[in-house]
Amino acid sequence: MRGAREGSISAADSIKEAVAKSKEIQKKYSPFITINEKAEASRTKGRLYGLAVSVKDNICTKGLQTTAGSKILEGYIPPFDATCIEKIKNEGATIIGKTAQDEFGFGTFSVNTQLSIPKNPSDAERTCGGSSGGAGCITAAADFPHVAIAESTGGSITAPAAFTGTIGLTPTYGRVSRYGLVDYSNSMDKIGVLGNRVHDCALMLSIIAGHDPLDSTSSELPTEDFTKYLNADLKGVKIGLPKEYFSEGVDKRISKNVRDKAALLESLGAKCEEMSLPSTPYAIPSYYLIAVSEASTNLAKYCGLRYGLQKDITGNFDEYFTKVRTEGFGEEAKRRIILGTFARMAGFRDKYYFKALRIRATIIKEFKQAFKKYDALITPSMPVVPPKFSDIKNLTPLQNYYMDILTTAPNMAGMPTISMPVEKVDGLPVGMQIIADQFKEGNLIKIAHKFEVSA
Ligand code: GLN
């Protein structure tokens, strides 16, 4: 990473500068919910010494407000660090602030929140994507050494990476501990990284990955130093282009960009061919059923007693609970609580929730089958260029959900992905998504890095 580690300026000055510049960026683009005014350079001279890191606001940071983008958690100051935060602090990183997001991760454009709405540095009338929009925004706007820690359930790292022209690495489910993450849909939530260089993402992942006894779903597989996959050769690497990801509904100019990149990867020694993942169209309905079902139970704990928003205690428990939740949750959170509760209800469960789980199993099987033959798959990251806020307002909830057609399947299957910027369309950033088999982040780093240095 640049800056302090190169010895050009001291770590203390580097962090001071990062905070001062972040405040300037905040005035223009609002990437943060909270800026860490007390940020100080670490004394630990680890691998991230002097590095400014921003953290999505659904990841707990000791002493620093954590809202998950929701008014219901406003004022909540965690007394502990999430495991990934502890790990980066142990390597000398400094948290400069908490980044804006859709409430609890419920969205694709970072507009579903009563708190901060980040604006795209390429065009401030447009979204940065979501739900980790603040992470994409600050990663694109920062002209100081910086890496963002973010989270994805169904595409929340890929969307902002594509829309802001940055790199977004979503690891395999279970690769990074979720301890200290505010749950959205816990069978799909994954903590990952946004950066401007593949190297930075690989290094960060090497640090935050690994088994954690505090998260029973974190994998016990040994973790790796992912930087060893940088500068690898692509000879013999087999890449599939799933045709369903290039179909109707995807901007043809974006599809073409990605196909052109396949040609580039071929010239670098890889073998690319078209293939099919026929269950892809079922990903959106099943993803949303599973996501809202889990979300509706996860949100039950916000009752205005334990964390965040509190009101004068009047009336009985139901009345108090209703008052706090009516005010604290935004429209999309309420919609998801209702949908999720319905999908899990006795009488409907088999028809919706269990059916969605079966589709998910089929999607996983299909990916697994594909990865017997291919080392990775490439697809467009998002089907459209970053939309204008004025156009997002006119989308129905269903049209909103369909923006995730390219990201939900790999996310619900727990496959790792990386989004790489490709040529702009109409002067706006767009991305290419690379998908690998579970725990094969090495393949992503290998292909993405070769692509980065050759494109
Ligand atoms: N847009 C998707 C949703 O609203 C994904 C969000 C995410 O990954 N957190 O659920």
User: CATH code at 233?
Assistant: 3.90.1300.10
The strands making up 52-56's β-sheet, listed across from edge to edge, are 32-35, 94-99, 52-56, 146-152, 190-195, 167-170, 417-425, 428-435, 376-380, 238-242, 271-275
Question: Which of 101, 106, 158, 185 gets mutated to test ligand 1 (max ligand atoms within 8 A of its CB)?
Answer: 106
**Residues 452 and 165: beta-carbon distance below 8 Å:** no
Percentage, residues of the chain above pLDDT 70: 98
Q: Which of 156, 185, 286, 419 is catalytic?
A: 156
| Cis status of the peptide bond prior to 286, with omega within 30 of 0 | no
Ligand 1 atom closest to residue 403's alpha carbon, by position in its atom list = 1
pLDDT at 6: 55
Number of domains in the chain: 1
More confident call, 336 vs 312: 336
CB of 110 within 6 A of ligand 1: the answer is no
Res 50 pLDDT > 90: yes
Give the pTM. 0.96
Q: What's the pLDDT tens digit per position in 212-227?
A: 999 999 999 999 999 9
Confidence of residue 9 (pLDDT cuts 50, 70, 90): confident
- Please report the pLDDT score of residue 251 as a whole number: 96
In angstroms, rounded to a whole number, what is the distance separating the alpha carbons of residues 70 and 344? 24
**pLDDT of the residue at 346:** 85
> Catalytic site residue 110?
no
Going by alpha carbons, the residue nearest to atom 10 of ligand 1 is 106
Residue 393 — left, alpha, or beta (φ > 0 → left; ψ -120 to 50 → alpha)? alpha
What does pLDDT average to over the chain? Answer: 95
Distance 109 CA to ligand 1 centre (A): 9
**pLDDT over 80 (residue 8):** no
Residue 92 Cα to ligand 1 middle (Å): 31
Segment 350-380, tens digit of pLDDT: 999 999 999 999 999 999 999 999 999 999 9
Kindly state the percentage of the chain with pLDDT values over 90: 93
Residue 156 CA: nearest ligand 1 atom is: 8
Number of neighbours of residue 150 by Cβ within 10 angstroms:
32
Residue 56 annotated among the catalytic residues of the structure: yes
Please tell me which residue in 14, 54, 56, 279 is annotated as part of the active site: 56
> Residues 275-298: what's their mean pLDDT?
97
* Average pLDDT of span 125-148: 97
Q: Is the pLDDT of residue 2 over 80?
A: no
Question: Is 160 a pocket residue for ligand 1 (Cβ < 6 Å)?
Answer: no
**Residue position matching structure tokens 């000398």:** 92
* Residue 152 alpha carbon to ligand 1 centre in Å: 7
Residue 225 CA, ligand 1 centroid: distance in Å: 29
DSSP string for residues in 306-353: SSS------S-HHHHHHHHHHHHS-HHHHHHHHHHHHHHSTTTTIIII
Q: Assign residue 110 a region: left if phi > 0, alpha if psi is -120 to 50, beta otherwise?
A: left
Categorize the per-residue pLDDT at 5 as very low, low, confident or very high, splitting at 50, 70 and 90.
low
Instruction: Name 299's Cβ contacts closer than 8 Å, sequence gap at least 6.
Output: 104, 329, 333, 336, 337
156 is known as an active-site residue: yes
| Ligand 1 contacts CB of residue 407 (under 6 A) | no
Q: Quick check: CB of 302 below 6 Å from ligand 1?
A: no
Domain hosting residue 88, numbered range: 1-455
Mutate to test the pocket of ligand 1, among 178, 289, 401, 404 (most ligand atoms within 8 A of CB): 404
107 Cβ closer than 6 Å to some ligand 1 atom: yes
Ligand 1 centroid–CA 269 distance in Å is 35
